[in-house]
Structure 1
Amino acid sequence: MTLASVFARVFGADLPVEFRAYDGSRCGPREAPAAVVLESPLALAHLAAAPGELGLARAYVNGHITVHGDMYTALTAFPPVDLGDIPWRLRAELFARFGWYRFWWPVRPPSAEKRAWGRRHSKSRDSRSISHHYDVSNSFYERVLGPSMTYTCAVFDKPDASLEQAQYDKHDLVARKLGLTEGMRLLDIGAGWGGMVMHAAEHYGVRAIGVTLSRQQAEWAQRAIAERGLSGMAEVRYQDYRDVPESGFDAISSIGLTEHIGREQLPGYFRSLRDRLRPGGRLLNHCITRPDGSYPARAGKFIGRYVFPDGELEPPGELVTRMHDTGLEVRHEENLREHYALTLAGWCANLDRNWREAVAEAGLATARVWRLYMAASRLAFERGGIQLHQILGVRPDGGDSGMPLRPDW
């Protein structure tokens, strides 16, 4: 059994991907749009030490497996295969052939892999988890996200709309759903680089406060706010949303934060936001969700250790229930998962176009993590494995919701 032929036996011989290995073996069509290459025995050592997703990710991040061509194209060619799907006879044969690699060539996880410590979703652990993902480098994010510096799902009026226009349209959709008008006060939690607060201040005359647990994001946002002449209207603080002292806001936007909250903290999360709204104020919760509640909320091993430590996705019904149970009346919901697939396609293209600069800024291992994570996420959104829901709620003022009879956004 040659090394390259192992892939064909596990995934099928008719995949439109070429496999090559350091022993000179190859399998699959040579004209394939993507090729997977085992660069050294250490690739097999990683797989023997951690069979499945984690071992493959470690081998790729460490450079012992490389993917030539487009990562998304390569991933779409693979059928979903779990270790349990591999026949026992083949598993035994593979272990006998390659299991000793973990002892002959012992390997360690890449430095990019992080294991969280401390009480889950405590303020200190949340701060470290957010910093791990968002404090990579502002320059790195500029190369991936583009000029908008917006790291959440865009909204596309048409499939070929530019990423910048789609991010503008997302911010404007949120503003219109919240019913923003001049003179209102907005709190944006998980504010990132300040895109929403600047949009609300500049285009709606709203006084906007944003908070983030990334110090680098807050510093970048404050500079951008000053450069756009919005210092009197907009602010982004390095602060936990639980520590915001102000209340009585007309509107709150939470765009891409709920994924970091955790199921057990949802009641307190929504209660905290409700308490900061004035009666009649609206909340727009925008976050990645899972299609149903039949499997665990916690992220897979690769995402959990390399991308979003402590990340948890909830089904939309869970979020709606928690909002209602804390006194927020849900008025509208929509799923934008196709829009996130298009957003990720734009980010992947940016990373590929700026690959050398991104590697120079953040290092090869981090760039590889992002290449794999974004391409895999795009595929998951396209196939419905994960979704993106916007849920609009209001804190009722007695029986008056303040909502229009029909959506006016």
Structure 2
Amino acid sequence: MTTFKDRSEVLAELGTRLTIAEVVDTLVKGDLPIRINAYDGSATGPDDAEFTLDIKTPRGINYLASAPGDLGLARAYIAGDMIANGVHPGDPYNILKAMQGIKFHRPSALSLVTIARSLGWERLKPIAPPPQETLPRWRRIALEGLRHSKTRDAEAIHHHYDVSNTFYEYVLGPSMTYTCAVYDSPEQTLEQAQENKYRLIFEKLRLKPGDRLLDIGCGWGGMVRYAARRGVHVIGVTLSAEQAGWAQAKIIEEGLSEFAEVRHSDYRDIAEGDFDAVSSIGLTEHIGVHNYPFYFGFIKDKLRVGGLFLNHCITRPDNTRTTKAGDFIDRYVFPDGELIGSGRIISDIQNLGGLEVLHEENLREHYALTLEQWCKNLVDNWEKCVAEVGEGTAKVWGLYMAGCRLGFQRNVVQLHHVLGVKLDENGTWDVPLRPWWTP
């Protein structure tokens, strides 16, 4: 049987030291589509590459060598030890697109010996990640409890949403809406598309003046205020104290207190029931796939007979496995996030009995457009954002949003609306036979 050795293994046997560029080559499978320059003067990748990464410090190569892949790259980039040339840090979409084919792998034991000899053993010792990184999953269990307990969910939401309301205003724009917009055309503004999204959900739920709506995971209250302006009585609930404070102040400012309320609370603590409709816009990603039966059972219990609900969430394109967030997303963006396909969501809804799915649609391309405009806002307000939250955090957001835009374009993730109804004991509908909303 013939065995093949990579270059670093051959060099290890010869006792040769590697340059930083050669260390990078050891961590990458196949050819690099970009140019990488290192602080020792070495380089790898095409000479004429449109984009380059500059590794500026020994700490940068430590991050890459100790966590080959998106987590190591993110650590080096966010900490400032690696610079991306040719793109703005608020929107590194183009370099991420160029890098999408790169595959990383952990080097063999022999290769690690060569890397350690080349860099110095001290360079491979674990070092602290950037301060924006949260704990790994196994450590969260010890400090925050089991995944999707109330305590741990509250901490996960705090990590992502309690950054700074001012920062979110710069990135999200006047609507303060942090969920996928709905576009009539790519030329629509972000604000027009977000208003269109709320109009679509309002119409799908057949809301009218005097109705009662529960909005679970209401964010900064965009849906709450949209419905309240049209005479609907709304309770919104969010685990983010920053969101709840901002939303409640906005309700008072707009004179909507008679109709609207946003609570800083776990949705599981909502005591009221008999709602005409329930909206869940961007929350299901946070609750855990194994909790879907409980979650949709909760929605069923909160609805009156004949009441409608709409679930708006990010999904995977298939239903073959539960997928936890990747290392970068889990550590820097959505701790404990989980996704699966829309088929699993629909099955878990209908398996409960008493709920029936009426309609579903995929808005995947709409989210790519939304993320593109959020990145544009970040670029346009870059200096203000950096002043508000620091350069590292601002870079996390640029990296995350640009990467997600690419994911939606490539069908790695999707965005689904699932509309359902609570049936009476005879299983009858109280809705029109055909869709009643404007597309």
Identify unmatched segments of 5+ residues in structure 2: 1-17
Cα deviation, 1:182-216, whole Å, max 9, x if unaligned, reads 111111000000000101111x3211110000000
Which residue of structure 2 aligns with residue 78 of structure 1?
Answer: 99
Change (3 A) 1:45 1:7: closer
Cα deviation, 1:273-306, whole Å, max 9, x if unaligned, reads 1100000000100000111233442111111111
Q: Is the 8 A contact 2:64 2:76 kept in 1?
A: yes
Which residue of structure 2 aligns with residue 104 of structure 1?
Answer: 122
**Pick from 149, 153, 173: which aligns with 2:200?**
173
**Pick from 57, 60, 64: which aligns with 1:47?**
64
**Pick from 172, 184, 188: which aligns with 1:161?**
188
Instruction: State the alpha-carbon separation in 2 of the partners of residues 400 and 28 from structure 1.
Output: 64
The letter of the residue matching 1:121 is H
Q: Is the 8 A contact 1:283 1:394 kept in 2?
A: yes
Change (3 A) 1:298 1:13: closer
Change (3 A) 1:102 1:394: farther
Q: Greater CA deviation, 43-52 or 254-263? A: 43-52
Which residue of structure 2 aligns with residue 59 of structure 1?
Answer: 76
**Pick from 381, 390, 394: which aligns with 1:363?**
390
Q: Percent identity?
A: 53
Instruction: State the alpha-carbon separation in 2 of the partners of residues 100 and 119 from structure 1.
Output: 41
Q: Greater CA deviation, 69-78 or 247-256? A: 69-78
Change (3 A) 1:100 1:48: farther
**Pick from 390, 393, 402: which aligns with 2:420?**
393
The letter of the residue matching 2:250 is A
1:69 CA drift (Å):
3.0
**Pick from 383, 388, 392: which aligns with 2:410?**
383
Which residue of structure 2 aligns with residue 348 of structure 1?
Answer: 375
Q: Greater CA deviation, 339-348 or 290-299? A: 290-299
Change (3 A) 1:362 1:30: farther
When the two chains are superposed, the root-mean-square deviation of aligned CA atoms in Å is: 2.2
Instruction: State the alpha-carbon separation in 2 of the partners of residues 234 and 68 from structure 1.
Output: 47
Instruction: State the alpha-carbon separation in 2 of the partners of residues 290 and 220 from structure 1.
Output: 32
Cα deviation, 1:68-89, whole Å, max 9, x if unaligned, reads 23310001002434435x9x78
**Pick from 36, 40, 45: which aligns with 1:23?**
40
Is 1:229 aligned with 2:249? no
Which residue of structure 2 aligns with residue 135 of structure 1?
Answer: 162
Q: Greater CA deviation, 373-382 or 23-32? A: 23-32
Q: Secondary structure at the match of 1:390?
A: strand
1:217 CA drift (Å):
0.2
Q: Secondary structure at the match of 1:407?
A: coil
Instruction: State the alpha-carbon separation in 2 of the partners of residues 290 and 191 from structure 1.
Output: 23
Instruction: State the alpha-carbon separation in 1 of the partners of residues 433 and 193 from structure 2.
Output: 27
The letter of the residue matching 1:250 is D
Q: Secondary structure at the match of 2:339?
A: coil
Identify unmatched segments of 5+ residues in structure 1: none
Which residue of structure 1 aligns with residue 231 of structure 2?
Answer: 205
Change (3 A) 1:144 1:30: farther
Q: Is the 8 A contact 2:296 2:349 kept in 1?
A: yes
Q: Is the 8 A contact 1:44 1:98 kept in 2?
A: no
Q: Secondary structure at the match of 1:109?
A: coil
Is 1:183 aligned with 2:210? yes
Which residue of structure 2 aligns with residue 275 of structure 1?
Answer: 301
The letter of the residue matching 2:93 is Y
Instruction: State the alpha-carbon separation in 1 of the partners of residues 209 and 116 from structure 2.
Output: 66
Instruction: State the alpha-carbon separation in 2 of the partners of residues 389 and 357 from structure 1.
Output: 33
Cα deviation, 1:236-267, whole Å, max 9, x if unaligned, reads 11011111111010000000000001022111
Cα deviation, 1:316-355, whole Å, max 9, x if unaligned, reads 1110011112221000001111100111101111111111
The letter of the residue matching 2:73 is L
Is 1:318 aligned with 2:344? yes
1:368 CA drift (Å):
1.5
Change (3 A) 1:384 1:98: farther
Q: Secondary structure at the match of 1:104?
A: helix
Q: Is the 8 A contact 1:201 1:230 kept in 2?
A: yes
Q: Is the 8 A contact 1:20 1:36 kept in 2?
A: yes
Normalising by structure 1, we get a TM-score of 0.93
Normalising by structure 2, we get a TM-score of 0.87
Change (3 A) 1:356 1:249: same
Q: Is the 8 A contact 1:11 1:79 kept in 2?
A: no
**Pick from 125, 128, 146: which aligns with 1:119?**
146
Q: Secondary structure at the match of 2:433?
A: coil
1:109 CA drift (Å):
1.4
Change (3 A) 1:270 1:101: farther
Q: Secondary structure at the match of 1:74?
A: helix
Q: Greater CA deviation, 63-72 or 236-245? A: 63-72
Which residue of structure 2 aligns with residue 36 of structure 1?
Answer: 53
1:126 CA drift (Å):
0.6
Is 1:69 aligned with 2:86? yes
Instruction: State the alpha-carbon separation in 2 of the partners of residues 83 and 310 from structure 1.
Output: 24
Instruction: State the alpha-carbon separation in 2 of the partners of residues 8 and 187 from structure 1.
Output: 53
Q: Is the 8 A contact 1:48 1:101 kept in 2?
A: no
The letter of the residue matching 1:282 is L
1:59 CA drift (Å):
1.3
